[in-house]
Amino acid sequence: MQLQFHLVPAVLRKNIAAIEGYSPGEQPQNGGFIKLNTNENPYPPSPRVLAALRKAADRSLRLYPDPLAEKLRSLAAITYGIGPENVLAGNGSDELLSILARCFVCKGDQVVYPVPTYTLYDTLIGIQEGEKVTISYPVDFSLPEGLYSQAGAMTILCNPNSPSGTLASLEQIERLAQCVSGVLVVDEAYIDFADGFGNSALPLVKRYSNLVVLRSFSKSFSLAGMRIGLAFAAEELINGMIKVKDSYNLSRLSLVSALAALQDLPWMIRNVGKIQKTRKRLTRMLKKIGFSVYPSQANFVMVRRRGDNLSGLYQELRRRGILVRYFGVRGLEDALRITVGTPQEIKTLLSEMAAVLEVT
């Protein structure tokens, strides 16, 4: 007998139906590509992580993980010089951003950030029915002066910024913390790739109760597949975020891998050094073949050819088995973002780019 269903149209909230969902970079399921499009680390995670995961993959997986990630928060506190009560672990920094939006953004509240930047911010604000107040970066991607005078419930700064890779100074971040009327969120997903570990805002958490700093294990620790992030903030903010997070938001294996990664910082630092070295060479060679390259402090570079739509170059590289990121949004039609891969991957990329440019 054939079953018949009475179909009732699902009624989404109007704001959910209207917003454009975040579009992550392409993730081919059948391999065969040099993947330089989603800022993954080209080097493997620490052997300690792999050993810890093998050991943890046992019958204990039937049990729920620690809901508050106490061991991870304690080790992160020691590693980064802050109290465990000032740390919250999340399912990647994306979940932490979602928690922050739900904590601080009500319908109609303004959320301020410079653009272009990480477009997930747009989606999260739309879900909350907040009002985004975007301030355009100048051509050199220096921090826009107008950012300091906005009265938002939340201000977000991606630092180093994506897609430009540019870095705001610690002095600028401190000034923002002093000027903004609401919460200041500094998204430091790429900070470990900055020279000398850059101008991290972490030391300011102890001085500014309205500051939240986010970190990710996806990039520098080579753990994008495990989805681990950390938020650092005043205890009052962390306690509020705990109320909003999912009950068991990190898996047992994610917690194990994060602990092992923090116990082997030299491995991460060595890989970061390799990427920094390759980044310098990539920047130099891209300039030689006619691109403008922003001074990146991340594990990617953004390149431009003023006035040229680079969709064709992106498509031709894809046809040749190389994925880079083309955004195709207003103001970035002449830009590509390229993840720093291994020296051999970058050598292939440069060779293919030069070949494409010769015939176009």
Lowest mean pLDDT segment, chosen from 6-20, 137-151, 330-344: 6-20
Superfamily of domain 14-44+266-359 in the CATH hierarchy: Aspartate Aminotransferase, domain 1 (3.90.1150.10)
pLDDT of residue 8: 59
CA distance 150 to 220: 32
Q: Above 80 in pLDDT, residue 129?
A: yes
pLDDT of residue 18: 87
Average the pLDDT over 259-286 and give the result.
98
DSSP secondary structure string for all residues of 210-275? TEEEEEESSSTTS-GGG--EEEEE-HHHHHHHHHHS-TT-S-HHHHHHHHHHHTTHHHHHHHHHHH
pLDDT of residue 3: 61
* 13 or 58: which leads in pLDDT: 58
pLDDT of residue 49: 98
Q: What does the domain layout of the chain look like in residue ranges?
A: 14-44+266-359, 47-264
179-194 residue pLDDT tens = 999 999 999 999 999 9
pLDDT of residue 353: 95
234: which 2 tokens? 């005043």
* Residues ≥6 apart with Cβ < 8 Å to 187: 93, 97, 118, 156, 157, 158, 159, 214
25-76 residue pLDDT tens = 888 887 789 999 999 999 999 999 999 999 999 999 999 999 999 999 999 9
Average the pLDDT over 222-228 and give the result.
98
Average the pLDDT over 108-124 and give the result.
97
170-179 residue pLDDT tens = 999 999 999 9
pLDDT of residue 94: 97
CA distance 136 to 128: 23
Residue type for position 116: P
Q: What three-state secondary structure class fits 179? A: helix
Q: In what order do the strands lie in the sheet with 211-216?
A: 87-90, 229-233, 211-216, 183-187, 154-158, 110-115, 131-136
229, β-bridge pairs: 90, 216
Nearest by Cα to 296 from 113, 162, 184: 162
Q: Above 60 in pLDDT, residue 1?
A: no
Q: Above 90 in pLDDT, residue 294?
A: yes
CA distance 90 to 105: 19
Q: Above 80 in pLDDT, residue 139?
A: yes
**Confidence bin at 359 (pLDDT 50/70/90):** low
84-100 residue pLDDT tens = 999 999 999 999 999 99
Lowest mean pLDDT segment, chosen from 13-17, 72-76, 87-91, 142-146: 13-17
* 328 or 132: which leads in pLDDT: 132
The second-level CATH assignment, the architecture, of 47-264 is: 3-Layer(aba) Sandwich (3.40)
323-355 residue pLDDT tens = 999 998 888 999 999 999 999 999 999 999 999
Q: What percent of the chain has pLDDT over 70?
A: 96
Helices (H), 3-141: 14-18, 47-56, 70-80, 92-104, 120-127
Interaxial angle between packed helices 235-244 and 92-104, expressed in degrees from 0 to 180 and rounded to the nearest 10: 100
Is there a common fold for 14-44+266-359 and 47-264? no
CA distance 330 to 349: 26
133 class by beta-carbon count within 10 Å (0-12 exposed, 13-18 middle, 19+ buried): middle
pLDDT of residue 5: 59
